[in-house]
């Protein structure tokens, strides 16, 4: 697992644990903790949504990697030149 993946999962796990703890506090103290519980619920949904998007992006990239046969992508096509624009695609002239 890469560092960015583990930090995302840690945020998800920490938020889930915080929600359990807040649920306990709500049972003990009543509604005073509901706003924070709702805030954490929204954050958890967003973390999971972002994690899902990253996973879909990785799958798409893997499907178009060098090992993808006809779908292969040349790594040069993903590089940027020093002026910030894309490098010429497959030897096409630069204007």
Give CA–CA dist 76/91, Å, rounded: 11
How many domains are contained in the chain?
1
Assigned domain for 79 exists? no
Residue 23's domain spans which residues? 3-67
CA-nearest of 73, 72, 89 to 81 is 89
pLDDT at position 41, please?
97
- pLDDT in single tens digits along all 95 residues of the chain: 555 555 655 899 999 999 999 999 999 999 999 999 999 999 999 999 999 999 999 888 888 776 655 555 555 455 555 555 555 555 555 55
**10 within some domain:** yes
**How many Å apart are CA 58 and CA 4, to the nearest integer?**
13
Taking the model in full, what pTM does it have?
A: 0.56
pLDDT, residue 85, reads 55
Give the number of other CB atoms < 10 A from CB of residue 34: 12
Query: What integer pLDDT is reported at residue 72 of this predicted model?
Result: 56
**80, β-bridge pairs:** 86
């Amino acid at each position: 697992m890469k560092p960015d993946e583990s930090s995302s999962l840690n945020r998800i796990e920490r938020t889930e644990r915080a929600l359990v703890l807040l649920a306990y506090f709500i049972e003990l103290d009543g509604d005073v903790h509901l706003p924070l519980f709702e805030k954490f619920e929204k954050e958890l949904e967003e973390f999971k949504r972002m994690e899902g998007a990253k996973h879909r992006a990785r799958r798409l990239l893997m499907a178009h990697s060098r090992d993808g046969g006809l779908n292969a992508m040349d790594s040069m096509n993903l590089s940027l030149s020093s002026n910030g624009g894309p490098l010429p695609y497959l030897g096409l002239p630069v204007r």
